[in-house]
Amino acid sequence: MVKELQKKVRELFEDKKVDMVVGWGKGSVPMSATPLFIKSIDEVDDLIFDETCQNNLAVYFTKDKRKLSKDGKKVGVIVKGCDDRSLVLYSIEKQIKRDDIVIIGVPCDGVIDKNKILRKTNNREVIEYNCDEKKVKVKGRDFELTLDKKDVLSDSCLTCSYPDAQVYDEFIGKARKKVDCKDEFKKVDDFEKLSLDERWNAITEEYSKCIRCYACRNVCPSCYCTKCFVDTNKPQWIGKSPEITDSIIFHLIRNLHVAGRCVECGACARACPVGIDLLLLNKKITKEINQRFDYTAGLDIDEKPVMTTYCENEKQDFIMG
């Protein structure tokens, strides 16, 4: 598959359809890949795609990185299903012009969450890592473990219905439409069953770990405000220190701000250096939007953003009580 991908990218360069391609290369440590910016045909050999390619590369088309795709240059980008949804979202929100980018889809069977692997190894360092369809083999200085791949996949992948791009210019292989995903909202349903106190305690415990490094926000493709509300000081909306109340406000407002825009790529959770379960509340909101408005973010390039659209027949029970 990687060979095919490289061939395709090479062709795009040869046909002068792209000036640059954003993809993934091998990371410097086991179980990691790293974003790669390919500017010429002889760098194409560095391209990889596998279950370690966990970054959502759409993020390089907004924020500070907008400059990467400027100057009338055609930029190709290699996408998993979730990354593609981010690009669709950007197109809907007028952050990119669809025609300026060449979307190259790759078939995705889920990406690993290396924190899950480290939990299995008791945080002992993994020096060698191998993965096939079903199993992940890891080796350290004094241990060897074989793990079921599904046990170390990112939570976001376990509940993913759109593993492949739906909007693309090129696809390596055959893109799947929606796949059946049982129990997509199981974790949310379980959470909802808890009492108010239990839910609050769970949230408090989770977010008390936050060190406010903003890795979650910065890797999130849907979070691209020029000035984030946490960074303003006139007025200063929230305190900057990792006090639990301020941290919760930061995360809850972020949840609401990406409501109807979250593509559930899980980049936030995988980026968190202290392992906060950042997906749960996003998933809760996704569920609400799904059920109330029959909307899933980033699928249809011609659809209007759900939170800025009003239909008369919408359920309004949340207002009316």
Partner 1 sequence: MKNTYIPVPMKVENIITEDPNKTLRTYDLSFINSEDRKNFKYMPGQFCEFSILGKGESPFGIASSPTEKDFLRFTVNNTGLVTNEIHYLRKGDNVGIRGPLGNWYPVEKFKGENIVIIGGGFAFTTLRSLLIYLLEHRKDYGEITVIYGARNPDLFIYKDEIAEWEKRDDLNLHLTIDKKADGWDKLVGFVPAVVKELAPKAEKTWCVVCGPPIMIKFTLPVLVQLKFPNDRIYTSLERKMKCGIGKCGRCNIGSKYICIDGPVFSMEDINNISEEI
Partner 2 sequence: MIIKINKNKFDKFFKILKGNYDVFAPIGDGMNSKFSRVKSIKEINLDISNTDKSPKEIFFPQTEILFNFESQKINLNAEKNKSFAVWGMRPCDAKSLTLIDKIFGSAKQKPNDENFEDPYWKSKYDDALIFSIGCNTPASTCFCNWFESGPFEKIGSDIFVVNTDEYYLMEAVSEKGKVFLKKVTDFEKGIKKDEEKITELKKRAESYLKKSVDLKALDNVIEEIWGNPVWDELSNKCINCGACTFICPTCHCFDIQDEGKEKAGKRIRLWDSCMFPDFTGEASGHNPRLLSKDRFRQRFMHKFKYFPDNNDDYLCTGCGRCIYVCPVNVDIREVVEKIVKCES
Q: Select the residue interacting with partner 1 from 16, 134, 182, 234 (CB under 8 A).
A: 234
CB of 226 to partner 1, least distance (A): 18
CB of 7 to partner 2, least distance (A): 24
Question: 132 vs 34, 146, 166, 238, 294, CA distance in Å?
Answer: 20, 11, 26, 46, 36
CB of 119 to partner 1, least distance (A): 35
* CA-angle at 195, arms to 191 and 198, nearest 5°: 75
Tokens 């100057």 locate to 71
Tokens 């889809």 locate to 105
Of 204 and 236, the one with the shorter C-beta distance to partner 1 is 236
CB of 38 to partner 2, least distance (A): 11
Tokens 């899980």 locate to 266
Q: Select the residue interacting with partner 1 from 130, 146, 236, 245 (CB under 8 A).
A: 236
Of 58 and 89, the one with the shorter C-beta distance to partner 2 is 58
Query: Which contacts qualify for 233-242: CB closer than 8 Å, 24 or more apart?
Result: 240/212, 241/212, 242/210, 242/211, 242/212
Per DSSP, the three-state class of 34 is strand
Size of the site for partner 1 (CB under 8 A): 3
CB of 234 to partner 1, least distance (A): 5
Tokens 């903003």 locate to 214
Residues that bind partner 2 (CB under 8 A): 27-30, 32-37, 55, 59-60, 63-65, 67-68, 115, 118-119, 122-125, 127, 141, 209, 211-215, 217-219, 231, 233-234, 239-243, 267, 270-271, 273-275
Q: Which tokens hold the place of 174?
A: 């055959």
Of 25 and 161, the one with the shorter C-beta distance to partner 2 is 25
